[in-house]
Structure formats: C-alpha cells, structure tokens
Structure 1
Amino acid sequence: MNTPAHLLIGAAAFARPANGRILWAALLGSLLPDLSLYVLAGVSLFVLGIPEQVVFGQLYYSSAWQTVFAIDNSFILWGLALTIGIWRGWRVLIVGAAAGLIHLAMDFLLHAGDGRAQFWPISSWVFHSPVSYWDSTHHAFWVAPVSALACLTSYVVLWQQGMRVWAKLFFAALVVAEIWVARQWLMFF
C-alpha cells in the first residue's frame, strides 16, 4: 500500500482525537515502516546519483537494504512497542505502535514479490502475497479501487472529528496523492 494510504488509514483508525500528540503519534507510526525506503532510495538517487534501475532492481533487494526493512517492518518490534505502551499506560506509544502494526498488516497482505521479513529477529521468512497494491499482474486493478475507497472513508472519518483547517488540507492532499500514485502504478505496472 502507498504511504499516503497508510497515513490516512492509521490516523482515521487510531487518532482519537485527530489533533495534537495523538494525531502526530498515529502519523509517525503509519510512516516509520516506509521511512527507511525513502531515506535509502533518496540518498541513492539524489545524493549518490545511482540510476533508478539499480536502486529498485538491485539495491532494494540487497541483503543490506532488506535487513533495514526487516527491522522497521518487524511485527515483533512493533508488537513489543505496543506491549510496552499498554504496560506503561503511554497512550502516545500505544497509538503510534497500533498505527505501525496496521501498516505492517496491510503490507503483509499487499506485497507480491517485494515483501519484507516481518518477523525479524526471530525469522527472515518473507510472505509472498498473491495480491499486490501496485503490480497489475497480481490484481492491482482490484486493489486500487478498494484502497481509494478506504482512503476516502478515512478522510470522511477524520473530517468528522473536527480537525483544524491545516489538517483537513493535509489529509485532502494525501487522498489526492494516493489516487495519483495508484493511477501511476497501474499505468506503468
């Protein structure tokens, strides 16, 4: 699933109220499993000048990058964070960890051939879903409308919580970004 969808769904599911520290925790938890990809790919592409084909055809699948992805996509580590949050009564950590876990659950189901080892450090096993959010050879044409509907529904849920204008505009931009990115994936893949 695309990062804008994760942000929308994570915030709608866990940011109650949708403002302040709770909203930021939901957004951060929704973003963190993808952040390393943005950092690694961004530095490789724009700082080091490595060609896109090498970044996404070789480096993405390298053991070094996959190790980083395994750490920040670990159900074990995110579950531990949620457990600590519940044990200590830290609502911000609970919300952030829950948003991270829902991100991982969606990715687990929607990564065909590009999944990550989500049970690190216990296992390096990777689930290869038969369904992909971006690859049309793995049913992305069916996933994209469901994802768009989930994003629109999440936006309505967030809107109804009385967010500030900046937040409404931010989440509206995420809906537009999700639809545009999904369109691009389907056109090119």
Structure 2
Amino acid sequence: MYTPTHLIFGMAAFGRPDAPKITAAAIAGAAIPDLSLYLLAGTHLLILGTDPQVVFGEMYFSDAWQSVFRIDNSFLVWGMVLALGLALRRAWIVALAGSALLHIGLDFPLHHDDGRAHFWPITNWIFESPVSYWDPAHFGRILTPIEVLVSWGVCAWLSQRYRGSAMRAVIGVFGLLQVPVAYAWVVGVGT
C-alpha cells in the first residue's frame, strides 16, 4: 500500500484523540517500515542524482537494501516490540508496534515482485502475492482506486473523532497525499 494509506490506517487503528503521544506513536509506527526506503531512495534520487530506473529497478532489489528492509519490515522484530510494550504496559509502545504490524500485515498480501522478507531473522523468504497494490499487471488498476477511496473515507471518519484544528490539519494532509496516487491512477502512471 502507499505510505499515506498506512499513516491513515495506523492513526485510525491505534491513535487516540485524547492521547496525543499515543497518536504520534501510531503515526510513527505506520511510517517506520517505509522510512528506510525513503532515506535510501531519497539520498540517491535527490542528492546523488541516481537514475530512478537504477534506484527502483536495481538498488531496491540489492542485498544491501534488502538487508535493511528485512529489519524494519519484520513481523518478528515488531512482534517483540509489541510484547515489550505489553509487558511494560506502555500504551505508546503498543501503538507504535501495533501500527507497524498493521502496515506490514497490509503490505504482505499486496506486493507481487517487490515484497520484503517479513519473517526475518528466521528466513529471508519473500512472499510473491498474485496481486499488487500498484502494478497494473497484477490488479493495481483495480486496487489503487479502492485504496484511495477507502483512505478518504477513513480520513472523513478520523475528522469526526479528532476535533482539534491541528489534528484535522494532519488528517487533511494525509488525505491530500492521496491525490498524487489518484492522479497517477487516472493517467495510468505506476498503476
């Protein structure tokens, strides 16, 4: 799924309107599994000027990058963080880990040939789903608009839960981040 969708779903599932620290942890947990990709790709694309085809066609699949993705996308690693949060009775750790696990759980069935080793360190096996959230050869043209519409619906629901103007602005930004995804779907770029 697209990162903004993870932010929206993580906030919806684990955020609490009466607890800003927990909501922030839920948003952070939703972002962390994709953070390494943004840092690695961003460095190459924006600073080093590496061709996007090289970044996403070669570097993304390299052992070096995949070794990083194994850690921040591991059900086992995040499961241990969740267990720690439960043992310590720290709601913010539970929200962080729960949101990351939700992110990984939603990504697992929606990556065809660009998945991650979600069961590291036990195995480096990568599930190759028959469907993809973005790839038109694997139902991306069907899944993308569903993802965007559901995300906007969840944003509307979140706007009812969070009454403060700052949080409504955050929700609005998350909703606006879906616009490029919707645009790409309409013009057929990447979906």
Map of 1:92 onto structure 2: 92
Query: How many angstroms apart in 2 are the aligned matches of 1:134 and 1:182?
Result: 11
Specify which structure has the bigger relative contact order, considering alpha-carbon pairs within 8 angstroms and separated by 6 or more residues.
1
Percentage identity across paired residues of the two chains: 42
The equivalent residue for 2:153 is 153
After TM superposition, give the deviation of residue 18 of structure 1 in Å: 6.1
Give the SS at the match of 1:115: coil
Q: Helix, strand or coil: the match of 2:177?
A: helix
The runs of 5 or more residues in structure 2 that have no matched partner are: none
Return the offset for 1:142: 1.9
How many angstroms apart in 2 are the aligned matches of 1:133 and 1:106? 10
Corresponding residue for 1:125? 125
Q: Tell me how far 1:178 sits from its aligned partner.
A: 1.6
Query: How does the TM-score come out when normalised to structure 2?
Result: 0.93
Equivalent runs, 1:12-51 vs 2, <5 Å: 12-17=12-17, 19-51=19-51
Q: Is the 8 A contact 2:148 2:181 kept in 1?
A: no
Residue 188 of structure 1 aligns with an amino acid whose one-letter code is: V
Do the aligned partners of residues 109 and 183 (structure 1) sit closer, same or farther apart at CA in structure 2, a change above 3 Å counting?
farther
Q: Distance in 2 between matches of 1:65 and 1:185?
A: 27
Q: Give yes or no for contact 1:133–1:144 (8 Å, CA) kept in 2.
A: yes
Q: Is contact 1:45–1:51 with CA below 8 Å preserved after alignment?
A: yes
Distance 1:84 1:12 in 2: 22
How does the TM-score come out when normalised to structure 1?
0.94
Partner SS for 1:188: coil
Moved over 3 A (4+): none
**Aligned-pair CA distance for 1:29:** 0.2
Which residue is 2:169 aligned to?
Answer: 169
Q: How far apart in 2 are the matches of 1:136 and 1:19?
A: 40
Answer yes or no: is the 8 Å Cα contact 1:18–1:163 preserved in 2: no
Note if 1:64 corresponds to 2:64: yes
Structure-2 residue corresponding to 1:11: 11
**What code does the residue aligned with 1:72 have?**
D
